[in-house]
Amino acid sequence: MTEPKITLAEVEHVARLARLLLSAEEKERMRSQLDAILGYIEKLREVDVEGVEPTTHAVALVNVMREDEVRPSYPAEAMLANAPDPHGDCFRVPKILEE
């Protein structure tokens, strides 16, 4: 029996980092599915990556910049049109607790 690649505690920690509220059942299912996937991904260890640079961008571009010119902003109504709880010209959110 191989070591589990990911524990339930790790699943809970990752879910918290990702702000995903998972039910107990979802957590367990997630744990076993992620375990299987991570097990498959282990095969990457077979590859000798010594001295190989990581690829951050698929095509090599550098120094892509724009001039410091002001362009018209969008009207506030357009930006607030999709807001679940607009309040005046602002987005309202419920109480920000610190955990």
Q: Which is nearer to other proteins, 1 or 62 (CB)?
A: 62
As measured in angstroms, the least distance from the Cβ of 1 to other proteins is 19
Task: Specify the residue, 1 or 21, whose C-beta has the smaller distance to other proteins.
Answer: 21
Q: Work out how close the CB of 98 gets to other proteins at its nearest, in angstroms, rounded to a whole number.
A: 3
**Buried (b) or exposed (e) across 48-82, using 16+ Cβ within 10 A?**
eeeeeeeeeeeeeeeeeeeeeeeeeeeeeeeeeee
Continuous segment of H or E residues that includes residue 86:
strand 86-87
| Residue 7 structure tokens | 């524990």
